[in-house]
Chain A
């Protein structure tokens, strides 16, 4: 999600003398005025070009792809791909067909996964930030330690998890079964029902440091006097948390929750590395599902159609979220 704010220019560029000479001859003698009026736009050009190249054009191409029957026969020259209109959407969103059913299933899995992952990551991040709010010996070490999962490259970290979670040779089963004797049978962590929970744990492990970082930064802005005043009024820990900390963190939380939601919903790396390309049904996140539908079956048209549908869904969710939270703020 890119948000850009344009600061109002210091001078209005259209303040022109009606009697100014032709720009060709005028620019040589009096170069300052036209340059000044162009400067803000010139400065904007790199941002606009990048924004177009990175966001807008790929999105438009994606929408266009979703209207084509783009299979291996046509990927080398897209202009030969037959235009099928909304056929890809009809096929992928037809929830009576196998493909549609699986997409819907994958959508629900992703939604539950996202809500749980964001909720847990936020809870852990919040707890960590509150615990580390006051200085004590070893705080810096804990802070660095807590941020480690976020600083590790995602592939390395998740591959390590996939080793840990293997049934026969993984550390998790070694500890649970061989050392602690908690379970008689070695459970599977990467296939079957457990795969969802494995994915969730890895995702929370990866995401909570970001929540922690943001909330910790947010907590620095809460004036100490407010806690003092609350303490004088006799407020205990929970009361202070509820009446001082959380309201003061509201602006941070608004953005943090939205960003975490979008990241987690679209997370591709974690399931891809953990499950090696094709996730089990129980953990078939939508990003992997779309990848499999387009790359593995070489049907980029319907893959794009799914992506566009997903984009629309996330747009609606984000817009709704911002609308509701803004309205609340206005009422507050």
Chain B
């Protein structure tokens, strides 16, 4: 009898515990009263904790200057877009947020973000403060920006100097053909030529954009309609996946990577090359000394087809936006002004290895280090913004996921052909509406 009763109590307890776990809290304590702001920062440093350590002193400084308290939450990239979407839908949540600059037009379309028209821009220091290319990636063309840029980034090629020297390679590749050739020399003894973040849709989509530009393709036509399965885009995606499928210079395991394991592989010497945005600060935390790797611009096609563009990176970066539902609009704008001030731009971009998004903050010697020089040069000469259309975030998801599946095919030995690439892109396009 007592066993039975114990069992009953135990069963009830287990069930109760199970139902409790099902309703874990997700409440956002938005600062409603007084001068408190909630700020969602994106994950720029090596970890969420690292970001908190970097940002908190600056927020304390802001509180000391203005009396406005800022509650910080660092949101991982995998959650950020969903969380922003939820905040836009419910009208609840943070006052100020970081957004990936490629999402600007998509989030702008929700109408949930404060428009930075001339008067609003004036409140944060004026339109002319910002680097024009960075500000152009803050919303659809012809409309007031939905955000202002705070960190500017671009892709670069990181290469392991020692691995290159051991393989008798004297200079970084400037064409993809060279990269594949060098990669084959470097892929020996359990080491690989190139690391990719194969299961991360956003990374995949960014590379799909760059390759497509080089092949003369576009992902959207001038009216904003998707053009995913054009021959140029098929060639572009196939070129990228072929590093694993046919060149075999990428470890098949990379098809599983979505948590920056490719950066770790590069830092540990398991892979000799990496295409990344401002990897320097991340590599530093993984104990790779700065003199162990070199930085070069992302390669181009050796023989570009007709219409191919000389683009080797997207205009990458982080923007800062203010939600319309904020009850402290002025406080929020003064926080944006603070974060885009010369001083903060220098401190934060220096720490993160990115470039200032305002013209007047570039004089610090940190921004002429080798890595930043390559980023600077790429941004000013050969970077192009991702299409600023409302469907951009859907493009990243659908095309990025299609490439993820192609990498999975390549990893498990299934052939990746023009037809299979085209099929995936056609399917992805059909899901757009």
CB–CB B405/A280 < 8 A:
yes
Partner of B426, one of A91, A98, A167, A299: A98
CB–CB B433/A71 < 8 A:
yes
A302→B393 CA distance, assembly (Å): 17
- Which residues from A are CB-within-8-Å of B258? 276
Is B231 engaged at the interface, CB distance under 8 Å to the other chain?
Answer: no
CB–CB A99/B89 < 8 A:
no
CB–CB A188/B255 < 8 A:
yes
Is A205 engaged at the interface, CB distance under 8 Å to the other chain?
Answer: no
Is A230 engaged at the interface, CB distance under 8 Å to the other chain?
Answer: no
Selecting from A14-22, A72-80, A305-313, A316-324, the interface stretch reads A72-80
A186→B190 CA distance, assembly (Å): 13
Nearest residue in B to A189 (C-beta to C-beta)?
B256
- Which residues from B are CB-within-8-Å of A293? 431
CB–CB B253/A168 < 8 A:
yes
Is A118 engaged at the interface, CB distance under 8 Å to the other chain?
Answer: no
Question: A278-B404, A280-B405 given as contacts; is B21 within 8 A of A190 (CB)?
Answer: no
* Complex interface residues of chain A between 146 and 170 (CB less than 8 A to chain B): 147, 150-151, 153-154, 166-168
The 0/1 profile, CB within 8 Å of A marked 1, for residues 79-109 of chain B is 0001001001101000000000000001101
Most buried by B among A191, A213, A281, A293: A191
Selecting from B4-12, B155-163, B285-293, B366-374, the interface stretch reads B4-12
CB–CB B411/A192 < 8 A:
yes
Partner of B431, one of A99, A147, A151, A276: A99
A98→B255 CA distance, assembly (Å): 24
Is A62 engaged at the interface, CB distance under 8 Å to the other chain?
Answer: no
- Which residues from B are CB-within-8-Å of A302? 433
- Which residues from B are CB-within-8-Å of A260? none
Partner of A298, one of B111, B252, B394: B394
CB–CB B4/A76 < 8 A:
no
* Complex interface residues of chain B between 221 and 276 (CB less than 8 A to chain A): 251-253, 255-256, 258
Nearest residue in B to A297 (C-beta to C-beta)?
B394
- Which residues from A are CB-within-8-Å of B7? 216-217, 220
13 contacts between A and B (CB under 8 A): A72-B390, A73-B390, A75-B88, A98-B426, A147-B14, A188-B408, A191-B408, A191-B411, A216-B7, A217-B8, A278-B401, A296-B401, A298-B394
- B contacts, CB < 8 Å to A: 3-4, 7-8, 11, 14, 17-18, 21, 78, 82, 85, 88-89, 91, 106-107, 109-112, 199, 201, 251-253, 255-256, 258, 390, 393-394, 397-398, 401, 404-405, 408, 411-412, 426-428, 430-433
